[in-house]
Structure 1
């Protein structure tokens, strides 16, 4: 329960008098119990690309497999308060992902039946919603549709992309007016440990998501999350910041809340490409990776308290 008292002073002027009115407004906002960190599934990747390139990636942040029975995904179309939903099936392994793609696989398809990109097909765990029906088309989301992950009776929101009841126009945008939820791939930041379980007052997309260009599918099928690196109890005591990302000049600044013992850099197939060890520990390190090829890498930092945190980074232009 959050309670704010807002004092609003309104000065009302007329030709023959002035009055000062002091209005006290009590604004009470009630919140449902929020999900515990690393305790339930959430959306880790969102794809709205060209043609029929639509996909969602669901991440399991727990240390046990999760049965998808009872979970649903879909959309709140164009600001609607009523969702279109489809049921999920299958199992997501501990710290694993589950990729859902729209079922458009006809290589000769054109127009509305254009084939979904082969890169999405290669990593998809399931294909859904092959036929568009206007009254019920849960996986035909566009940039102006709120996209939920729901479980149970259909009213328990586990995660949400966007804001229910709001039609942002073409897409939700950042403060500069740049569209984020259309013609983009969005990836959840590693530090996000749980989903959005209540409808936000405003959807500040860049707070929890990183943006990649249209039709980028290389990140589907795996996700970097701090839940897989540290125990739930350690998440509050082991923090890492790494910037810039992307690192165009291949220079990184890494800072941590606990002394670092080592930094390792892996390519996307898991090969170690660089490593530095600290004899006396450090909490800040400038890291030169100019010798590495341009591409996506995973930086893994081991702390003196045993915690391990990982971040994905793009090196070069």
Structure 2
């Protein structure tokens, strides 16, 4: 018990350093816990400036854990008023032993609705199943929480106030087999671990397996369009990448070409799709120049190790 309380106090201390103003920071805008492994977290930029995703991560605290979350680091850029859904990427059936069962691939419709996909290798954060707390973190600071870190609600968090919104007394599941969309009135994330997590306060519930709204979000934050022509949203993963690995750049806007430049300013690679193969490259730091078909241009640092 002392260890759990200590872990939670550290968590609260980290969160306390990240008190947020309305419309000032990324937050979780949609939570999808669908059939099988069709799970995704959507993040939204409510600010008037593009946000570099380097240093941000999505984390899963499984089954009441307070430490050692499964972590998915982000890299890329999210333009003002834009959202991107990041989901499970398991494309094949996988035998999991122990305990001994077939983990089924995700639905192609769900796959296409995601802007970016996890590796599909357990345990990434996108194997949550309704009783896991999810966080969006920036460095060591929590900037949004879905659920309650340190609490196992049973099968799911529910609408039952009598049980602290766990399923101890029944109640309707809200965090399992649901698509939950953040209400438009919500303008910032939850930075302090809640005493109880009532999912009905900030989320609207859509039927199980609803993917049609992924990648877009309605919010009452006022977004300026002054910088719209220069801003482009994309996510690049993995970054850093091990030499020989493949980097994928995902964007809602079609990519025209990618240019990779080394620290000497030399162009070392051209690509006409969204994939960078590092097989012929050396370890080091590079600048990725991304040109989109709508004329927008973005740059991002890539580390090959």
Shorter-chain TM band = 0.5 to 0.7
Measure the CA separation in 2 of the matches of 1:215 and 1:104: 17
Paired position in structure 2 for 1:304: none
Summarize deviations over 1:238-269 as a string: whole Å, max 9, x none.
xxxxxxxxxxxxxxxxxxxxxxxxxxxxxxxx
Paired position in structure 1 for 2:205: 211
Task: Give the CA deviation at 1:230.
Answer: 8.9
Give the 3-state SS of the residue equivalent to 1:207 in structure 2: coil
Paired position in structure 2 for 1:183: 177
Task: Give the CA deviation at 1:32.
Answer: 4.8
Matches within 5 A, 1:73-222: 73-82=58-67, 83-106=69-92, 112-133=102-123, 137-152=124-139, 155-175=140-160, 177-222=171-216
Change (3 A) 1:189 1:203: same
Task: Give the CA deviation at 1:43.
Answer: 0.4
Measure the CA separation in 2 of the matches of 1:120 and 1:93: 23
Matches within 5 A, 1:216-295: 216-228=210-222
Paired position in structure 2 for 1:48: 33
Q: Note the aligned Cα RMSD (angstroms).
A: 2.3
Consecutive unaligned residues of structure 1, counting only runs of 5 or more, are 1-28, 232-317
Measure the CA separation in 1 of the matches of 2:145 and 2:177: 19
Paired position in structure 1 for 2:249: none
Asked whether the equivalents of residues 158 and 197 of structure 1 are also in contact (C-alpha less than 8 Å), the reply is yes
Looking at secondary structure, tell me which structure has more helix per residue. 2
- Higher RCO (Cα < 8 Å, 6 or more apart): 2
Asked whether the equivalents of residues 48 and 224 of structure 2 are also in contact (C-alpha less than 8 Å), the reply is no
Measure the CA separation in 2 of the matches of 1:51 and 1:123: 16
Change (3 A) 1:128 1:92: same
TM-score, normalised relative to structure 1:
0.58
Looking at secondary structure, tell me which structure has more strand per residue. 1
Asked whether the equivalents of residues 100 and 125 of structure 1 are also in contact (C-alpha less than 8 Å), the reply is yes
Consecutive unaligned residues of structure 2, counting only runs of 5 or more, are 1-11, 96-100, 162-170, 226-305
Asked whether the equivalents of residues 47 and 223 of structure 2 are also in contact (C-alpha less than 8 Å), the reply is no
Count of residues paired in the alignment: 197
Change (3 A) 1:229 1:123: same
